[in-house]
Amino acid sequence: MNRFLLFFCFISISLVFSQNFDAGILAGINTSQVSGDNLSGFNKLGVKIGGFVSREFNAFNAQLELQYINKGSRNMTDDDTHQEQYKFQLNYIQIPCLIKTSIYKNTFVEFGASIAYLLNWTEKYYGYEDRGIDVNKLEYNINVGVDYKINRYLHLNTRLSNSIVPIRPHASGKTHKWNKGQYNTCLSFVLCYYFNKKLKNSSLRTRE
């Protein structure tokens, strides 16, 4: 874990002392599901909070983030009680690295990859803990998203991410072609606040 924090700090310091850097904070919600658990829908709600640093280039911006994020899945009973039947909670420290570019006025697209370190996890049935197969400590993801510029300092970010290797095997241990186990899929809605006024003149500028 310390290696990832040191890596983030090294890159952050490099960006901060380079020309045309920016930094900020982010906070929002994260809806998630786990493919391969026989449940469907983004029913697990969590939080995403953290910070970021970015560096402008000619036609795009590179952004590095450090986040605390909740993932997993959840299922409710179909009867009138709406009791929580199943809850799979995963808490990560995540480091996404992204490329952002403008596609239209006040609108930007982003793509990139991330690595996440599992802090802890729980698995419950009807409120009682019953942990199944262990979850991998490291998770690797691909990310795509859209930024909308509300004003110079504030952006609304929507991002879809999916793990590219299983977070754990299926309970049966079986695999089929590309389906090697269980995978995290997340859809997040986050507000990003930029500290530096240089964003106004950034290469991540609005296209008319």
Q: What is the pLDDT of residue 171?
A: 76
Q: What is the pLDDT of residue 206?
A: 47
Nearest to 184 by CA among 25, 39, 4, 27: 39
Q: What is the pLDDT of residue 5?
A: 55
CA 177 to chain centre: 26
Domain boundaries along the sequence of the chain: 2-201
Residue written as token pair 């999916």 = 162
Residue 65 makes CB contacts below 8 A (sequence gap 6+) with: 26, 50, 51, 52, 94, 95, 96, 97, 98
Q: What is the pLDDT of residue 10?
A: 57
Give the C-alpha separation, 30 to 80, whole Å: 27
208 residues of the chain, pLDDT tens digit each: 556 555 655 555 555 555 567 889 999 999 999 987 777 788 899 999 999 988 888 888 889 999 999 999 999 887 777 788 899 999 999 999 999 999 888 899 999 999 999 999 999 998 889 888 899 999 999 999 999 999 989 999 999 999 999 999 987 777 767 778 899 999 999 999 998 755 443 444 444 4
Q: Which CATH number fits domain 2-201: 1.20.1200.10, 3.60.15.10, 3.60.10.10, 2.40.160.20?
A: 2.40.160.20
In angstroms, the Cα distances linking 106 to 89, 101, 156 are 35, 11, 10
What is the model's pTM?
Answer: 0.84
